Structure formats: structure tokens, C-alpha cells
Amino acid sequence: MARPALWLSLLTVGLFVIALTLGPAQIGPFESLGALIVDDSSPLTMVMREIRLPRAILAVLVGASLGLSGAAMQGYLRNPLAEPGLIGVSGAAALGAVLAIQTGVAATVTLGLPLMALAGALIGVLLILALAGPRGSSLTLILAGIAISALSGALTSLVLNLSPNPFAASEIMFWMMGSLADRSMTHVWIALPFVLVGGGVLLSLGRGLDALTLGEDAASAMGIRLTRLRLVLVLGTACVIGATTAVAGAIGFVGLVVPHILRPLVGARPSRLLWASALGGAVMVLAADIAVRLILPERDLKLGVVTALVGAPLFLHLIYKTRSQLG
């Protein structure tokens, strides 16, 4: 455990600092970090504290949430293809968020935005578990995921198209692909409590997920209460995915790529994979967000584009590897 955790932590910190020093305004790294720490009421401090810092913090929160929930769902379903984005949980959360914004709930109710997104994610997870529960094959899981993704995507488009606001219709791309551009500390405060609570309960699942390596029956006989585990998993996943999707849109493949890469490094133990994937997810999203700013700084390249370019080939590879099971 110690080795990968140490490396991933160092990598997270390193990328976090790089993310803070990167931006369209060309400012030296020391000057910008100085302005972040010392408040000289200059516009630079404002830029650092209200634009770059929240963006970097959100990258960590979003990445950790995606990595952690991916690892947890994979552990529970015992299927390496389970990933919140691919199986439609993020899409359902985005639908909840869009509904919150378009109905005005987001503006009138405190935490209305993350709570509605959480509700969407909850419905998504429940549907997935009902359709492709632990005994379901990869095929059922992927088919159920396609159905949920397509339905929530279509409903999101519908809601946006019905909006009286001319900009809303063009926002489907944000919700499907995700972005951290121009977020503020407000968004951090919206997401943070849910990520902490949801992340905390997901991390507590390690023991149960380890036992599930031997199947439900054996785990149950080892004293693992599966009903409780399932409930915690569903709520924890809904919390982290709902809150992060509400502020950053649906970002796919992070929960697939990160556990897949890290699994051999932690001896494939689901409990160790949880921690590692949370850190690894933060690393991946920080790196992806740095990439979108380096590749096309003047355009608003969506984060999900970069993660999909990395993740989709791996997804295809995994499908190829498990095709005997799929058939």
C-alpha cells in the first residue's frame, strides 16, 4: 500500500501546484503562488483564489470521486467495466442538475443543485443495480448502462431544448463531456460536503468488498451484511457523483481507467484499490485539465474529450478481453 499511495500523493500535489500556475494570463509561477498565499488585495490574488484555486480543488474532488466510485462499483459488481460515466449514473446526475437549473430549484433552494443531481444519480445507481445486479453479466451491465445513458441524455436534451433561454440548448455538450473552466469557490463549497461524506462512506466499504472477492455467499458467511453494504454503496456513489456532476458535468472513463491501471499495483485487493483509485482519479483529472489548457488554451475543450480519448481505447480492450464472458 505504502508505495503506490506515496507516489500518487506526491503526483497529486505536484499536478495541483502545476495546475495553479497554469492559465491564460501569463504570470510567473512564483508570483502567482505568492499572490495565492499572501492577500495583497490585488487582482492577481483574486484570480488565484477565485479562478485557479477552485479549478484545481474541483479537479481533485471530481477525480477522486470518479476514481473512488468506479473502484467501489467494480468491487461490488465484481466487474472491471463498471464505471459511473459508462453505466449512466453520471448522465442521470446531469439530468437532475439540469432539471434543478431549469426549474429554478438551483437558484431558490439551498443546495438544490447538488441535491437534485444526487437524486438523479441515486435513480441511476438503483436502476443499474436492479438491472445488472451482482449476478448480472458484463453484457447486462453494459446494455443497462447504454439504456440509462441514452435515456438520461435524451431527457437532458429535451429539458434544455424546452428552456426559454437560448444558451441552454447549446449546453448539452457541457453536461455530456464536463468542464472545470470558470468555476468558483461557490462550486467547491457546493460539492465538498457531499464528496467528503460520500467518499468517507465509500472508503469504509473496503472490508466488505474484499470479502466479496469470494462471492456473495462466502462474504455473507464471513459476517458481511450485504444489504447494508449495498445501501452504503448506492448512497455513497450517488453523493459523490451527484455533487461532482452538478458542478463539473459528466466526465467519463476516469472510473474505468484509474482502477484498471492501479489494480496490479495494489495486489488487486478491492480495499486497497479504493484509496489508490481516489488518489489516481485526482491525478488523472488534474492531468486532463492541465492538458485541455495546454492543447487548446483559447478554446473551451471539454474535459471528457480528453478522458474519453484515453479511456475509450482501454474500454474497447477490456471488452475484447472479456468477450468470451460477454458472448
Partner 1 sequence: MSLLRVEHLSVTLRNRPVLRDVSFDVEEGECVGLIGPNGAGKSTLMRAALGLVAHEGQSSIAVMRDADRARAAAWMPQMREIAWPVTVDTLVMLGRIPHMAGGQKPGAEDHARVDAAIAATGLEAFRQRTATRLSGGEQARVLIARALAQDTPLIVADEPVAGLDPAHQISTMETFAKLARDGRSVIVSLHDLGLAARHCTRLIILSEGRIAADGAPADVLTLDSLRDVFGITAYFRDTDQGPVFQPLSVI
Partner 2 sequence: MLRACAGPFVIAATVAVALPAMSQDMPERPERVVSVNLCTDQLAMMLAAEGQLISVSDVALDPQVSAMTEEAQKYRINYALAEDIYLMQPDLVIAGSYSAQATLDMLERLGIPVARFAPAYSLAEVRDRMAQMGDLLGQQEAADAMIADFDARLAALRAEVDERPTAALYYANGYTSGDKTLSGEILAAAGFENIAGTLGFPSFGRIPLEVLALAQPDALVTSRPYPGASRSEAILDHPVVEALREGRADASFSDKDWVCGTPYVLRAIESLRPLRNALTKEP
Burial label for 302, CB within 10 Å (0-12, 13-18, 19+), is: buried
- Nearer of residues 184 and 204 to partner 2, judged by Cβ: 184
Q: Note the maximum CA span of the chain.
A: 64
Task: Identify residues 48-87 at the interface with partner 1 (CB under 8 A).
Answer: 78
Select 35 or 256, whichever has its Cβ closest to partner 2.
Answer: 35
Closest distance to partner 1 from the beta carbon of 42 (Å): 46
Contact pattern from residue 270 through residue 309 relative to partner 2, giving x for each residue in contact according to CB under 8 A and a dash for the rest: ----------------------------xxx---------
In terms of Cβ atoms closer than 10 Å to its own Cβ (0-12, 13-18, 19+), residue 19 is buried
Ramachandran class of 182: left when φ > 0, alpha when ψ lies in -120 to 50, beta otherwise:
left
Residue number, 24 or 264, with CB nearest to partner 1: 264
Exposed / middle / buried, residue 166 (Cβ in 10 Å: 0-12, 13-18, 19+): exposed
Return the residue of 61, 106, 132, 254 that touches partner 2, per CB under 8 A: 106
For partner 1, the binding residues in 247-266 under the rule CB under 8 A are 263-264
Examine residue 231 and tell whether it contacts partner 1 (CB under 8 A).
Answer: no
From the CB of 325, what's the least distance to partner 1, in Å?
A: 12
Q: Determine, following the binding rule CB under 8 A, whether residue 104 of this chain makes contact with partner 2.
A: yes
46/222 with CB nearer partner 1: 222
Torsion over CA of 301, 302, 304 and 307, rounded to 10 degrees?
30
Grid cell of 229 as nine digits = 453494504
Could you give the CA distance from residue 286 to residue 156 in angstroms, rounded to a whole number? 27
Nearest to 199 by CA among 94, 116, 282, 123: 282
- For partner 2, the binding residues (CB under 8 A) are 23-25, 43-44, 46-47, 50-52, 101-102, 104, 106-107, 163-171, 174, 182, 184-186, 298-300
Q: Can you give the binding site for partner 1, defined by CB under 8 A?
A: 78, 204, 206-207, 210-215, 217-218, 220-225, 263-264, 267-270
